[in-house]
Amino acid sequence: MLDLEVVPERSLGNEQWEFALGMPLAQAVAILQKHCRIIKNVQVLYSEQSPLSHDLILNLTQDGIKLLFDAFNQRLKVIEVYDLTKVKLKYCGVHFNSQAIAPTIEQIDQSFGATHPGVYNSAEQLFHLNFRGLSFSFQLDSWTEAPKYEPNFAHGLASLQIPHGATVKRMYIYSGNSLQDTKAPAMPLSCFLGNVYAESVDVLRDGTGPSGLRLRLLAAGCGPGLLADAKMRVFERSVYFGDSCQDVLSMLGSPHKVFYKSEDKMKIHSPSPHKQVPSKCNDYFFNYFTLGVDILFDANTHKVKKFVLHTNYPGHYNFNIYHRCEFKIPLTVKRENTDGQTETCTTYSKWDNIQDLLGHPVEKPVVLHRSSSPNNTNPFGSTFCFGLQRMIFEVMQNNHIASVTLYGPPRPGAHLRTAELP
């Protein structure tokens, strides 16, 4: 049985690990994976058709704990303990819930002190006792008790008193004064762990298509930059097509991983693929997982030729590998009797809406089916790749965008220059 410390408005954890409000989803999953022998039977709950309409939930079924992540920013918003018989809980080092100590109203009052009178919810048959950043829900012993505690049954605060001996059914840890209005807080400094995170990514355009990325980055530590917090740095960096490997390293730092392409599965869709000479060396990616960005370099010139932006929607094959990239992409829309207008595509845009903005359907997609090996099946099904203005939009079956690949401008005569190399 887990023995955990409750810190209102902040966290639930022990000496080895801690689930902190504002923590990214990937870090919470990493904790669960590291302690998989202790924390077992974890469920991932999400809405397959409308993933933005409901919170993303990690349900620790064996321990009676739910971690609720904001559907948009994918940071920890609420920690819910829904079965207090499966876990030991303490506050300031003193247990208020264990096999020997029942979490009664008297015990909660002794451990946490005075607060406002409880609020009765007749629909749930529950009393809610609220502290700042912490709420307890008490179950009534019998249906006959309910009318005594209806707010309109008596006058004054006496009508909202919780009956003696009532035990806690659920506990919630959240940010602020109201569980209903709470939002996921900013990522705490303890969660940076030496990484850089992207607050936003703007796609830069020239007259023909995308030209690069402008990233607004967050990092913990001292140094130059706008001080949004005592120890948090906020700064902007830009990378462009044609930048060298060294340029990107100086702008964004070292990647989490370097991946060398073994084959190009989209080559068959290029003009005269049979005429292309096999390369003696492979193009390579810089994978920036916490930015949600991949950067592809040409094997010969070592210059940027492609950017990949990941949305990290649940139900996609690459879910939880990357953090969500909060991108904005300007799209040129041509309408009758007007010059080209610019509309914005974001991480949360749906493909149908983009096609409506364009005013015409895009050409038929290429079907992409990912799997770890030829004999394995992908439980999430295929995705569809649409080409548009030197970009490829990978679209999931629920109409959300899984990733966007940006291509640099074609280099005229590049194949001639390559052929002239000794």
What is the chain's alpha carbon radius of gyration, rounded to the nearest angstrom?
27
- Can you point out the beta strands (E) in 21-167? 42-45, 56-60, 65-69, 76-81, 87-91, 94-97, 119-121, 126-131, 134-139
Q: Please, which pLDDT band fits residue 336 given cuts at 50, 70 and 90?
A: low
Which tens digit of pLDDT belongs to each residue from 172-220? 999 999 999 999 999 999 999 989 999 999 999 988 889 999 999 999 8
Q: What does the pLDDT read at residue 237? A: 97
Map residue 292 onto helix, strand or coil: coil
Residue 271, Cβ density class (10 Å: 0-12 exposed, 13-18 middle, ≥19 buried): exposed
Residue 79 above 50 pLDDT? yes
Map residue 287 onto helix, strand or coil: strand
Give, in degrees to the nearest 5, the angle at Cα 380 between 379 and 386. Answer: 140
Tokens standing for residue 101: 């100590």
Residue 314 above 60 pLDDT? yes
Give, in degrees to the nearest 5, the angle at Cα 418 between 412 and 422. Answer: 150
User: What's 397's DSSP letter?
Assistant: T
- Can you point out the beta strands (E) in 165-275? 168-173, 197-205, 210-220, 226-229, 232-240, 257-260
Q: What does the pLDDT read at residue 409? A: 85
| Domain ranges within the chain, ordered by starting residue | 1-172, 191-405
Polymer length of the chain: 422
Q: What does the pLDDT read at residue 375? A: 57
Are 304 and 295 in contact by the 8 Å Cβ rule? The answer is yes
Residue 143 above 60 pLDDT? no
Residue 400 above 80 pLDDT? yes
Are 404 and 308 in contact by the 8 Å Cβ rule? The answer is yes
d(CA 298, CA 303): 6
| 359: amino acid identity, one letter | G
d(CA 40, CA 338): 60
Which tens digit of pLDDT belongs to each residue from 250-278? 999 999 999 998 766 555 656 665 555 56
Q: Which helix (H) or strand (E) holds 327?
A: strand 327-333
Residue 106 above 60 pLDDT? yes
This prediction's pTM: 0.87
Nearest Cα to 125, choosing from 149, 158, 159, 156? 149
Are 183 and 200 in contact by the 8 Å Cβ rule? The answer is no
Q: For residue 226, what are the β-bridge partners? A: 234
Residue 293 above 70 pLDDT? yes
Mean pLDDT of 349-373: 83
d(CA 163, CA 17): 36
Q: What does the pLDDT read at residue 418? A: 35
Q: Please, which pLDDT band fits residue 148 given cuts at 50, 70 and 90?
A: low
Q: What does the pLDDT read at residue 164? A: 73
Q: Please, which pLDDT band fits residue 417 given cuts at 50, 70 and 90?
A: very low
Tokens standing for residue 403: 């990733």
Which tens digit of pLDDT belongs to each residue from 152-183? 444 434 345 667 778 899 999 999 999 999 99
d(CA 7, CA 91): 7
Residue 21 above 90 pLDDT? yes
* Higher pLDDT among residues 375 and 21, named by residue: 21
d(CA 366, CA 387): 9
